[in-house]
A and B are shown apart, each in its own frame.
Chain A
Amino acid sequence: MVLKVFFPSCCATAESGLLIGRWIPEQNSAVVLAVVHFPFIPGQVKQYLSEVQRVTQIDMCVLGSWSNSKQEKEEVLDKFLEDLSTIFSHEPWIQLSKEGDSKFWSCCIFQKCPSSPKEDEFILVYYDQRKVMLSQLHPTDSLTTFADHKGNDASKLGAVFDTVAKSKVLFMTDRYDDGPIKLTHWQSEGVEASIIVELMKQASVPVCMLLTFLLSLVSSVCKSRVLKFWPLSFIWSKLSTCEQLGHRLEHLQIISSNRKAQNQTQLMRKANIFVSLLIDMTLGILLMSWLYRENRIGQLADTLIPVADHIAKELQDLLQWLMGVPAGLKMNRALDQVLGRFFLYHIHLWISYIHLMSPFIEMILWYVGLSACLGLTVALSILSDIIALLTFHIYCFYVYGARLYCLKIYGLSSLWRLFRGKKWNVLRQRVDSCSYDLDQLFIGTLLFTILLFLLPTTALYYLVFTLLRLLVVFVQGLIHLLVDLIDSLPLYSVILRLCRSYRLAASVKFRVLEQKPGKPLRLLMQINPLSYGSVVQTYRLTTYACYPKDSWSSLCKKLFVGELIYPWKHKEEKLD
């Protein structure tokens, strides 16, 4: 069987000593974590190892010996190293030795009862201890289920990464400590730490407490009964701004909770939410500073009324066109005039209301623009709501046209059945034949004819207003997609993949180093990072996704029948 030894590249220049690490028997591989130097007392080494084992839950043991001699081989040292194998009994005992500056090491394996008579082959795999410890392996889906089913058949690489990651406590002792054991590992020159990170950790505790207190106040205000009365609760549910604000409030609550993240996924989630909020607020403040400079808000308010007037005028022209001979089609004069005048009066009312509000528009916009400091997403949601409010009359026209058309279609279908001598059976939910009286048939046919000949007029109005409504819905949908994108993009993970790509590992790659016949095979294990696409997919933040509720075919069917459509649906529960 091939014996694999994972050796940290930082220990390649260490002085002679003992190799400690973990032996994985089912994969016949040894993961070396550190080198214990002479002089040491075997009893103390064993005690230290058992302590570390208790803390880290890894069965750590002495794997073998390591000799780094500057001169030629020393016979005395060899004998001494062989004697060590009797003190620390480990099966198999690995003996690595390096002579001078040679790149090629020799190794022997001592086994009390050799399992196979064949010569054992030896593979030496070098790994960067710091990178492997900090990285997190993201196996593909097949492998995660693999690991779940057969515990000890799990990925070999996963076991190696796991071992190194869990032995953090072993790497805390450096060579300047006064303990009885002298170790060499990646941190033995001194424990790495950053002052900024430590200061931020200390400062985050009171900030989190303050934030939690403020958030609890805000949420208690939001949940108060005053805001739950019927008109207000209806308005809150319709405005997308409130939804976005609620979403951000949840995010803030997640960040400011004082429970530490249990595992890597939760930590990345918190970091992603934090970075997303930060970027959002920065962009919002930039937008605000741009808006309030040079009185752009005043300019915006000044253009708003003329724009609304222009839209109303265009609608009036459209209705006049419909009342005439639209597209060469001949309309029913009387119905045409009735519908046209009805809608024109609506537009007239709408314009009067807008003109009534015009002195206050600037002030309202000024105060509403202040809320852009809460984030760019909030500003975009407000924009979407303003569009919805300004085009409210289009929505009303659409509803009137749709209802009229729907009634007409309903009546037509029912009278068509009467025309053919059939009836809709409500109990059985099917079409049954029915015998009608002569006067029923007469009136039914008359009404059917009237409705049929009035159909083109109603259908045209319905078509025009549905198209306008769909246009507005499309624009709103685009804005919501943008808001979702800002909400759900895991920026921290993407930046981590860019700068510290070893932290997000998809797999490993091996490089064959220089070989010499007779010496063991030397490989270098490097980390293969995740692709950007998988990073975004794995760490996407949950959002209230905005996606089309109906498929194309059901949408077309609804449009044909005249049902009111709400094409964008906001999910009630989070999209995980």
Chain B
Amino acid sequence: MEEGMYRAVCGGRIALQRRQYSASCREFSVRCPRLQLRSLSAATCSVWLAAYGLFVLSQNSMVLSAAIFITLIGLIVYLHFVKIDQESLLVIGSLGIQMTSSYASGKENTTFIEMSQVKDVVINEAIYMQKVIYYLCILLQDPQEPHGVSEVVPLFQKKAAAGKLLQFSLFPTRGCFVIEQSSCSWPSRKEKEPAFFIAPVGPEILADRNFEKNDQK
């Protein structure tokens, strides 16, 4: 099991963990820092101070109860729907690829894509603000057209990583990279910020460790 600390596009630190269970099964997980007590207390205090200020102005005690409700409900919604704890990608050769996002409240969203549906795994580029960033995505097979692509699924949708290039051999039949691009930002296709990308490349590139950009399909 290998672990590395990287910096995400939004500035926070994230940890990447790679585990190999067997020759055809690997797991990559990206972990984000947990919710800090500092920020939680700061947010709660500010909301309640504002509510108390309004109460002093309006002398209506409903403001205080409303503030409590808002804080509670806002916290629950944030923990359950917004704050992601960990995102992991489990690749089981000849079965499929599974992407899990687990939220701070314990909720887990899992998507499983069967190997027969996967057409290819590519690196895609996009323009985010003033930079060009690269992200990983899976191309799904179009059932009607054998050469068509029905869907593009970006991986690691919520968090982005930045770091150095890694070399990794994933599928026994073709060499793949897990590339983490240094100091680049990630596209926000509908608030999705994928982390890194795997590209099928030939064996001659497997030896190149300083590979920075790969837009091969």
Name A residues whose Cβ lies closer than 8 Å to a Cβ of B: 1-2, 4, 28, 121, 123, 125, 142-143, 145-146, 149, 153, 155-157, 507-510, 512, 515, 520-521, 523, 528
- Bitwise, B90-106 to A at CB < 8 A (1) or not (0) is 10111100101000000
Query: Quick one: closest B residue to A148, CB to CB?
Result: B143
Contact indicator B25/A521 (Cβ below 8 Å): yes
Chain B: interface residue total (CB-CB under 8 A):
26
Contact indicator B25/A146 (Cβ below 8 Å): no
Q: A2-B24, A142-B151, A149-B143 are in contact. List 11 more A-B contacts (CB 8 A).
A: A123-B22, A143-B143, A156-B114, A507-B110, A509-B100, A510-B90, A510-B92, A510-B95, A512-B90, A521-B22, A528-B110
Contacts known (A4-B94, A149-B143, A155-B116); A509 close to B110, Cβ less than 8 A: yes
Contact indicator B140/A142 (Cβ below 8 Å): yes
19 contacts between A and B (CB under 8 A): A2-B93, A125-B95, A142-B117, A142-B140, A142-B151, A145-B143, A145-B144, A146-B117, A146-B143, A155-B116, A156-B95, A156-B116, A508-B112, A510-B92, A512-B21, A512-B90, A515-B22, A520-B22, A523-B95
Q: In the complex the two chains form, what is the Cα distance from A123 to B142 in whole Å? A: 28
Contacts known (A157-B114, A512-B21, A512-B25); A2 close to B94, Cβ less than 8 A: yes
Contact indicator B95/A507 (Cβ below 8 Å): no
- A residues in contact with B112, CB < 8 Å: 507-510, 528
Q: In the complex the two chains form, what is the Cα distance from A305 to B143 in whole Å? A: 65
CB distance from A106 to the nearest CB of B (A): 14
User: At the interface, yes or no: B27 with Cβ under 8 Å from chain A?
Assistant: yes
CB distance from A155 to the nearest CB of B (A): 6
Contact indicator B110/A123 (Cβ below 8 Å): no
Q: In the complex the two chains form, what is the Cα distance from A145 to B23 in whole Å? A: 33
- A residues in contact with B95, CB < 8 Å: 4, 123, 125, 156, 510, 523
- Bitwise, B1-43 to A at CB < 8 A (1) or not (0) is 0000000000000000000011111010000000000000000
Q: In the complex the two chains form, what is the Cα distance from A13 to B123 in whole Å? A: 46
- B residues in contact with A143, CB < 8 Å: 117, 143
- Bitwise, B138-175 to A at CB < 8 A (1) or not (0) is 00111110000011000000000000000000000000
Contacts known (A143-B117, A155-B114, A509-B98); A515 close to B143, Cβ less than 8 A: no
**Minimum-distance CB pairs A-B, first 3:** A146-B143, A509-B110, A521-B22
Q: In the complex the two chains form, what is the Cα distance from A507 to B144 in whole Å? A: 21
CB distance from B83 to the nearest CB of A (A): 20
- A residues in contact with B27, CB < 8 Å: 512
Pick from A4, A121, A509, A510: contact of B23, CB below 8 A.
Answer: A121
Contact indicator A523/B92 (Cβ below 8 Å): yes
CB distance from B63 to the nearest CB of A (A): 33
Name B residues whose Cβ lies closer than 8 Å to a Cβ of A: 21-25, 27, 90, 92-95, 98, 100, 110-112, 114, 116-117, 140-144, 150-151
Pick from A123, A142, A510: contact of B98, CB below 8 A.
Answer: A510
- B residues in contact with A146, CB < 8 Å: 117, 141, 143
Query: Quick one: closest A residue to B151, CB to CB?
Result: A142
Query: Quick one: closest A residue to B19, CB to CB?
Result: A512
CB distance from A140 to the nearest CB of B (A): 9
Q: In the complex the two chains form, what is the Cα distance from A143 to B144 in whole Å? A: 11
Contact indicator B144/A149 (Cβ below 8 Å): yes
Q: In the complex the two chains form, what is the Cα distance from A528 to B140 in whole Å? A: 20
CB distance from B184 to the nearest CB of A (A): 31
Q: In the complex the two chains form, what is the Cα distance from A149 to B21 in whole Å? A: 35
- A residues in contact with B92, CB < 8 Å: 123, 510, 521, 523
CB distance from B107 to the nearest CB of A (A): 12
- B residues in contact with A1, CB < 8 Å: 94
- A residues in contact with B22, CB < 8 Å: 121, 123, 515, 520-521
- B residues in contact with A121, CB < 8 Å: 22-24, 93
Q: In the complex the two chains form, what is the Cα distance from A508 to B97 in whole Å? A: 11
Query: Quick one: closest B residue to A521, CB to CB?
Result: B22
Query: Quick one: closest B residue to A154, CB to CB?
Result: B116
Contact indicator B116/A507 (Cβ below 8 Å): no
Q: In the complex the two chains form, what is the Cα distance from A520 to B117 in whole Å? A: 25
CB distance from A498 to the nearest CB of B (A): 16
Q: In the complex the two chains form, what is the Cα distance from A566 to B142 in whole Å? A: 43
- A residues in contact with B100, CB < 8 Å: 509
- A residues in contact with B140, CB < 8 Å: 142
CB distance from B91 to the nearest CB of A (A): 11
Query: Quick one: closest B residue to A528, CB to CB?
Result: B110
Q: In the complex the two chains form, what is the Cα distance from A2 to B115 in whole Å? A: 13
Q: In the complex the two chains form, what is the Cα distance from A125 to B204 in whole Å? A: 36
Q: In the complex the two chains form, what is the Cα distance from A146 to B115 in whole Å? A: 13
The winner among A4, A145, A146, A523 for most chain B CB atoms within 10 A is A146
Q: In the complex the two chains form, what is the Cα distance from A508 to B112 in whole Å? A: 7
- A residues in contact with B25, CB < 8 Å: 123, 512, 521
The winner among B23, B90, B116 for most chain A CB atoms within 10 A is B116
Q: In the complex the two chains form, what is the Cα distance from A125 to B93 in whole Å? A: 13
CB distance from B196 to the nearest CB of A (A): 21
Q: In the complex the two chains form, what is the Cα distance from A142 to B118 in whole Å? A: 12
Q: In the complex the two chains form, what is the Cα distance from A508 to B143 in whole Å? A: 21
- A residues in contact with B23, CB < 8 Å: 121
Q: In the complex the two chains form, what is the Cα distance from A143 to B110 in whole Å? A: 18
Q: In the complex the two chains form, what is the Cα distance from A28 to B95 in whole Å? A: 11
Q: In the complex the two chains form, what is the Cα distance from A151 to B94 in whole Å? A: 19
Q: In the complex the two chains form, what is the Cα distance from A507 to B117 in whole Å? A: 13
CB distance from A7 to the nearest CB of B (A): 15
- B residues in contact with A528, CB < 8 Å: 110, 112
The winner among B21, B150, B151 for most chain A CB atoms within 10 A is B21
Q: In the complex the two chains form, what is the Cα distance from A123 to B25 in whole Å? A: 10
Q: In the complex the two chains form, what is the Cα distance from A156 to B117 in whole Å? A: 11
- B residues in contact with A123, CB < 8 Å: 22, 24-25, 92, 94-95
The winner among B90, B94, B100, B151 for most chain A CB atoms within 10 A is B94
Pick from A125, A157, A508, A521: contact of B21, CB below 8 A.
Answer: A521
CB distance from B200 to the nearest CB of A (A): 19
Q: In the complex the two chains form, what is the Cα distance from A570 to B70 in whole Å? A: 42
Q: In the complex the two chains form, what is the Cα distance from A523 to B141 in whole Å? A: 26
CB distance from B108 to the nearest CB of A (A): 8
Q: In the complex the two chains form, what is the Cα distance from A85 to B95 in whole Å? A: 28
Contact indicator A28/B21 (Cβ below 8 Å): no
Query: Quick one: closest B residue to A509, CB to CB?
Result: B110
Q: In the complex the two chains form, what is the Cα distance from A507 to B109 in whole Å? A: 12
- A residues in contact with B142, CB < 8 Å: 142
Query: Quick one: closest B residue to A531, CB to CB?
Result: B109
CB distance from B183 to the nearest CB of A (A): 33
Contact indicator A507/B111 (Cβ below 8 Å): yes
Contact indicator B21/A515 (Cβ below 8 Å): yes
Q: In the complex the two chains form, what is the Cα distance from A510 to B90 in whole Å? A: 9
- B residues in contact with A125, CB < 8 Å: 95
Q: In the complex the two chains form, what is the Cα distance from A528 to B100 in whole Å? A: 12
Q: In the complex the two chains form, what is the Cα distance from A156 to B116 in whole Å? A: 9
Q: In the complex the two chains form, what is the Cα distance from A515 to B24 in whole Å? A: 13
Q: In the complex the two chains form, what is the Cα distance from A344 to B105 in whole Å? A: 66
Query: Quick one: closest A residue to B115, CB to CB?
Result: A156
CB distance from B95 to the nearest CB of A (A): 7
CB distance from A143 to the nearest CB of B (A): 7
